[in-house]
């Protein structure tokens, strides 16, 4: 299982000052839409372009919006636009006009799960910092009261972050270097502890070490 991300086709002028500590999940409030629709809607608001870092279609395709390091435009409360990654789901998982969807497609949930796990690993974000837009803006239901939030958080908690190192002799050391940002797992959720290291990978590890020293 891997994360297939379609790279951004938008040139968005925003400062590279985002330091992700949170992952914030939204819905589009539209039963059917594409990332191009969201780009257009946000441009019409006078923004620099799509406010989210990622958009996930109902079929489970992940599209890149803003770059992760760019300031977002999806949650102004708590200065979250420079402290989080914003992910938007196609769909309208609440009562709204004739748009209402009561079920989040399994493929979309799975893609959201994979992307969230990947971002948690990459930025060392605990499950407690995976939030709904609603948690910061209580006057909104976003990502909708029909989104199975409790179940989603439970699956994030249950799933071991790097399941393939569970019984490995070097497990504690692996967790330590991953948590410190010196090495990371593969996008498929595994660490592959017995793969050999190339010179390029070794250089990357040493460079990461130098960065934190």
Q: Among residues 28, 56, 111, 142, which is the contact residue for Zn ion, using CB under 5 A?
A: 142
Among 53, 71, 117, 133, binds Zn ion (CB under 5 A): 133
* Nearer to Zn ion (CB atom), residue 29 or residue 162: 29
Task: Considering the complex, state which of residue 86 and residue 189 has its C-beta at the smaller distance from Zn ion.
Answer: 86
For Zn ion, what does the binding mask look like between residues 2 and 41, x meaning CB under 5 A? ------------------------x---------------
Of the two residues 117 and 133, which places its CB atom closer to Zn ion in the complex?
Answer: 133
Footprint of Zn ion on 75-114 (CB under 5 A): none
Select from 63-71, 95-103, 142-150, 185-193 the region that touches Zn ion (CB under 5 A). 142-150
Compute the least distance from the CB of residue 75 to Zn ion, in Å.
7
Task: List, in sequence order, every residue forming a beta bridge with 56; answer none if it has no partner.
Answer: 62, 89
Min dist CB 74 to Zn ion, Å, is 6
Render the chain in DSSP notation, one character per residue. ----EEPP-------S----SEEEEEE-SBSS--HHHHHHHHHHTT-SS---SEEE-TT--EEE-S-TTS--SS--GGGGGGTEEEEEESB--S--TTT------HHHHHHHHHHHHHHHHHHT--GGGEEEHHHH-TT--TT-TTS-HHHHHHHHHHS-SSGGGTT-TTHHHHHHHHHTTSS---TTS---TTSPPPHHHHHHHHHHHHHH-
116 versus 174: smaller Cβ distance to Zn ion: 116
| Closer to Zn ion by Cβ: residue 111 or 142 | 142
Only one of the segments 48-56, 117-125, 136-144, 178-186 lies at the binding site for Zn ion (rule: CB under 5 A); that segment is: 136-144
Q: Which residues bind Zn ion (CB under 5 A)?
A: 26, 133, 142
């Amino acid at each position: 299982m891997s994360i297939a991300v379609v790279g951004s086709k938008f040139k968005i002028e925003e400062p590279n000052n985002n330091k992700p500590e949170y992952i914030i999940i939204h819905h589009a409030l539209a039963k059917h839409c594409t990332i191009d629709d969201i780009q257009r809607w946000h441009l019409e608001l006078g923004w620099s372009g799509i406010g989210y870092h990622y958009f996930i279609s109902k079929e489970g395709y992940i599209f890149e919006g803003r770059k992760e390091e760019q300031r977002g435009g999806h949650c102004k409360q708590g200065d979250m636009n420079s402290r989080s990654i914003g992910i938007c789901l196609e769909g309208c998982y609440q009562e709204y006009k004739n748009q209402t969807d009561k079920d989040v497609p399994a493929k979309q949930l799975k893609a959201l799960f994979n992307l969230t796990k990947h971002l948690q690993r990459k930025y060392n974000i605990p499950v407690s910092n995976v939030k709904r837009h609603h948690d910061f803006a209580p006057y909104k239901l976003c990502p909708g009261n029909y989104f199975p939030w409790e179940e989603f958080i439970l699956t994030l908690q249950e799933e071991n972050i790097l399941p393939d190192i569970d019984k490995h002799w070097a497990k504690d050391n692996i967790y330590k270097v991953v948590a410190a940002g010196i090495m990371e797992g593969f996008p498929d959720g595994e660490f592959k502890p017995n793969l050999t290291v190339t010179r390029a990978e070794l250089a990357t590890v040493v460079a990461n070490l130098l960065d934190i020293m």
